[in-house]
Each structure stands twice: as structure tokens, then as C-alpha cells.
Amino acid sequence: MSRAIVKGSSTGGRGSVVRLVLAAAVFLLVVVAVVLDAGRYFAVEEQVLPDLVGMPFDQAARLLRSQGFDPVTFVEHVEGAPADAVTSQSPEPGTVVKRLRSIHLGVNTPPAAAVLPDMLGMLEPAAKARAAELNLPLGLIQYQPSDRPAGTVIAQEPPGGLRLAEGASIALVVSSGPERQSVTLPDLVGTDVDEAVQQLARLGFGRVEALPSGVSFSQPRVVVAMHPAAGEVVPPGTPVLLSYSLSTANVVQVPDVIGQPQWQAQLAIGAAQLRVGQITFVQDPERPEGVVDVRPTGYTAPGTPVFLTVNGTPSGGLVPDFTLPDATGPTDIGGGTDPSGGETVGDGSRLVPFTFDPTNMGVKRLLEQPYSLKLIVNDDRGERVVFDRRVGAGQSVVTSVAIYGQEAMLQTYVDDVFFQAWRP
């Protein structure tokens, strides 16, 4: 048994040796082949490239082939260069390169020498790209109605297959789609705005915009103006603007805030379901401080921005510094808030009493609906919200606020709208 095992092991060892010898032989053959190829590559004669720019292509090609190179061409268009002349080469003249390699030559092919392609049926972008590819100058592009899809080339001059004359360009005619007959705009003034929009849609006008303009107590939602005007002859795709009157049920009245401080005007505008727009500040000593102009006035749609002109120093609604002799109850200074100075306590802070009384605001909504009140303090300890609560309709708020430092600033917000700021 032992001899059989030893004999088998000896046979397997001889097989492994044979395989190793074969692998080594193959490796040596590969190495020899690589060395021979490398030798042939390095044995290739090197040549200095001549300057071929300006030479006729046929002559340049013959010269390159005689030196063992393969000329490869590409189209170029160089103003002033002769047709079929070499205008560029790569590698550049004077470069030492091995023979048998390809040399790229740019050959001047002016538009006059190029055969025009047939671009009929092509889309306009594709036709432009094709002309650019062939260095063909495009001239006038016209658009005409036709049964072909919009954007399709329906004519070209000169036609495909011809050569372009020196200095000439290609003219294209592109389809603008089926022709649409122009329509005379009807007189829609006095018509219900919804009916007016439907009439225009039946005539092919798909871009109609209706905007409110003014208020009518007797004829709401009636067209009061239109642009373009009635009687004009326009294509159906022309945009039409209709101005119509608002119903009193769908409008709110802009409050009269002339003469009021900025903060009070802002609050009144918000209470009227309107937005405060741009505020312009002026300095006119001949006029009283406060709001001096409001736009728009009268009635408008809810949410409309109201633009104010305020006479005085821009302060974002900041109320001038003041103190009160008595800070224990409601006050009418500052529109219902009490910004008194307070008293100093042991930790260096000051307790400032604060009172907010909506009965002194002159805003009916605060007496009829709940409102949110927020009080923000900015002092030596930074900015923080010290009061943020939903308050019942008509209810007052009386509290005290601890502040630190002499340069503290207090700000109040009603329903997230800035109301007042002061230094206690």
C-alpha cells in the first residue's frame, strides 16, 4: 500500500514539471514576439514633417505618400485661401514623426465648391445644423402658412444638388402651420365676463385674461373695457385682456389712514383683509408726520397690496421714546400699550409693566374676533419672545416683563403683523 502511494505521487510530480515547462515556453514566445514588434517599431525610420499649408491638396498628398505617410483630410473654410488648398495640418510642420502614421490635413472647401444638400422636409434646427456642418452661409429665413407641420422647411433657394455661387447664401422658407383666418373682435363691453370669455373661446381665442377693475353696485362682473379694442381684426391666437367690474360682496373698502402713524395704518390695513405694499418715506417739514398718501383708495379686492407714503424718518413703525407717570393700568398712549420704564430688582433686571387694551385701538375686528399677541424683548441677554398667546375678542393683556440693560427694545405683533416698538 505504501509503495502504491509513493508511485502515484511520483507520477503527479512529473506531470506538474511538464506543465511548468510548457508555460515557461509559451511565456518566452510571447516575450520574443513583443521584443520583435518593439524592434520593428523602433526600427521605423523617423521623418521631419514638411510644411504643407498653402500647398494644393493633391500635391501635398503625393508628397506625404512618397515619404511613407497616410494623408487624412477634413473640410475647412478659410476666407481668401484657394479652393482645395491645405489650410492646416496636424502634427505641425517640423515635427519629427515615424513613417507610416496618419497626417491630418484641413482642406479649404468654400461654399461655392460644395454641393448643396436637399433640406426640404427637414425641421428648421436640423437644416441650420446641416448648413453649419458644411460651412454653408444661411441667408433669409421666411415663415409661411402651409399644410406641413410648423417648423418644417418647405422651400430652399438654391435647391439641393446645385453649387452655391461665390458670396451667395441659402434662403429657406419654413412652415408656420395651417393658415388661420383673422377674426374681428366683437364688442363685449357690457357683457357678463364669463359669457365674454366663452364667446372669445368659440371664436378661437385661447389666451383670454380677465382682471377686476372698479366696483359696480348695479352691474357687477360686467366687462368695462377690453384690449385689443372691439372691431380690431386679429389672429385667433392674439391675447385678449378683459377688465370687469367687481361686486360689492367681493370687495373691501380701503381704510382711510391719512394722518395716522405708520404702525397704526399697517394694522388698519391688515384688519381690512388687505396687504401692506411698498412704503415710501418723504421728508416734508410743511406737512404733518404720518401717512400722507394711500394707493389704491375706495374699494378693491381682498388681499390687494396697499401702497403708503409716510412723511417722517423711516423707522419701520418705531414709536418715539416716552415714559408714563403711572404704569398700573391701561393707557391710550401708543395705541393701547403701556411702555413705562419699570423698577429695578436684585438681579440687575428691570420689571417693566405691559398693558395692551384693544378698546383703545380703533380696530373693530379686535373687539369681535380673537387675536394673537406677541411681545419680543431685545436686551443685553439677546432677543427672546416673552409673551405669545391667543387672546379672546376684546380682552386686554396686563403683565410685567424683566429686561436687562439700558438699551432694551420691546416689540409687539398683532396677528403676526408688526404693531409697535419702544425703548422702556
Question: Both 165 and 201 in a single domain?
Answer: no
Where among 68, 89, 109 does a domain terminate? Answer: 109
CA distance 70 to 85: 17
Shared domain check, 209 and 242: yes
Q: Give the integer Cα–Cα distance in Å for 392 and 369.
A: 7
Same-domain pairing of 237 and 209: yes
Domain-ending residue, one of 208, 230, 250 = 250
**Looking at the domain assignment, is residue 159 inside a domain?**
yes
Q: Which helix (DSSP H) or strand (DSSP E) does residue 12 occupy?
A: helix 2-43
Closest CA to 341 of 357, 358, 322: 322
Q: Do 263 and 238 fall into the same domain?
A: no
Residue 335 φ/ψ region, left for φ over 0, alpha for ψ in the -120 to 50 degree band, beta for the rest: left
d(CA 51, CA 54): 9
Contact between 172 and 153 (Cβ < 8 Å): yes
Q: Which distant-in-sequence residues (6+ apart) come within 8 Å of 266 by Cβ?
A: 276, 317, 417, 418, 419
Q: Which amino acid is at 402?
A: A
- Residue 306 forms part of a structural domain: yes
CA–CA separation, 153 vs 67, rounded Å? 48
Residues 350/401, Cβ–Cβ less than 8 Å: no
For residues 245 and 257, state if they share a domain: no
What would the grid cell of residue 37 be? 514588434
One domain, residues 131 and 150:
yes
pLDDT 10s digits, 297-353: 877 778 888 888 999 876 544 333 333 333 333 333 333 444 444 444 456 678 888
Q: Which domain holds residue 256?
A: 252-311
Report the alpha-carbon distance of residue 73 to residue 69 in Å, rounded.
13
d(CA 127, CA 116): 12
CATH number of residue 96's parent domain: 3.30.10.20
326: in domain = no
Q: What does the DSSP assignment read for 87-145?
A: EEEESPTT-EEETTSEEEEEEE--GGGSBPP--TT-BHHHHHHHHHHTTPPEEEEEEE-
207 domain residue, yes or no: yes
Q: Considering only CA atoms, which of 416, 363, 421, 367 is closest in space to residue 393?
A: 367
Is residue 287 within 8 Å of 259, Cβ to Cβ?
A: no
Q: What is the distance between the alpha carbons of residues 169 and 243, in angstroms, rounded to a whole number?
A: 49
Cell output for 377: 424683548
Tell which of 151, 175, 199 closes a domain: 175
Helix (H, G, I), strand (E, B), or coil: what is residue 142? strand
The phi, psi pair for 229, rounded to 5°, reads -75, 160
Is 331 among the domain residues? no
Claim to verify: residue 123 and residue 102 sit in the same structural domain? no
Q: Give the bridge partners for 90, in sequence order.
A: 104
Confidence at residue 173, expressed as pLDDT on a 0 to 100 scale: 94
Write down the pLDDT at residue 258: 94
Question: pTM of the entire structure?
Answer: 0.29
For residue 373, what is its C-alpha cell? 399677541
Are residue 371 and residue 415 in the same domain, yes or no? yes
CATH number of the domain to which 398 belongs: 2.60.40.2560
Q: Which three cell numbers stand for residue 28?
A: 518566452
Question: Is residue 3 included in any domain, yes or no?
Answer: no
Residue 417 and residue 349 share a domain: yes
Rounded CA gap, 405 and 385, in Å? Answer: 17
The answer to whether the CB of 127 falls within 8 A of the CB of 153 is: yes
Give yes or no for a cis peptide into 158 (omega within 30° of 0).
yes
Tell whether the torsion through CA atoms of 294, 296, 300 and 306 is positive or negative. Answer: negative
As for how many domains the chain has, the answer is 5
Q: Could you tell me if 353 and 413 lie in one domain?
A: yes
Residue with cell 412704503: 279
Residue-level pLDDT at 110: 66
Residues 280 and 303 in one domain: yes
- Supply the pLDDT for residue 191: 93
What is the SS3 string spanning 223-287? EEEEECCCCCEECCCCCEEEEEEECHHHCEECCCCCCCCHHHHHHHHHHCCCEEEEEEEECCCCC
Tell me if 298 is assigned to some domain.
Answer: yes
Instruction: Give a yes or no: residue 335 inside a domain.
Output: no
| Pairing outcome for strands 102-108 and 86-90 | antiparallel
Low-confidence ranges of the chain (pLDDT < 50): 1-10, 316-345
Residue 402 pLDDT: 84
Determine contact, residues 414/372, Cβ cutoff 8 Å. yes
Euclidean distance between the first and final Cα of the chain, in Å? 112
Partner residues linked to 52 by β-bridges: none
Which helix H or strand E contains 148, and what residues bound it?
A: none
Distance (Å, whole) CA 134 – CA 110? 9
